[in-house]
Structure 1
Amino acid sequence: MNLSKHAIAELRHIKEFPVPTCSINPGVASKLIREGLAISVMLKSPFKSHKGGDCPHLQITDAGRGMV
């Protein structure tokens, strides 16, 4: 698996807690999901504009934890 420095940094970021997908570069998010390092899950939105609704977040997988 060949990940960019940016993708590895994002993986380390989502290791701490799930991150809204819209806050991550779409190409990086897609690569992490395709490689099985992260999954998309629906969680409460942290954005006031969503008024408590859900939005997709990236959550690290066991394979992703093994990369960082």
Structure 2
Amino acid sequence: MIDPASQAQLKEAIADCIGTDQGVLDALREEIRPLKGATRRIQPRATTSISLVGTDGGNNQLQFDPFLIQ
């Protein structure tokens, strides 16, 4: 749980991470931009699916990606 007192500090840390990795994101966007014209729409299809669910034994790790902020 994020307490209100640390919210400003966390917001600043996220902004720093975004600023640090902005060059990486820009380079990736530049690299894939030429591929935009070669894309095709994936047509919807009906299928059957199953889901296998398991547990990780409590070894939970949260990976944060600052570029997925909405």
Range of TM-score over shorter length: under 0.3
Higher CA-based Rg? 2
TM-score of the two chains, using structure 1 as the length reference: 0.25
Q: In proportion to residue count, which structure has more strand? A: 1
Higher relative contact order (CA 8 A, sep 6+): 2
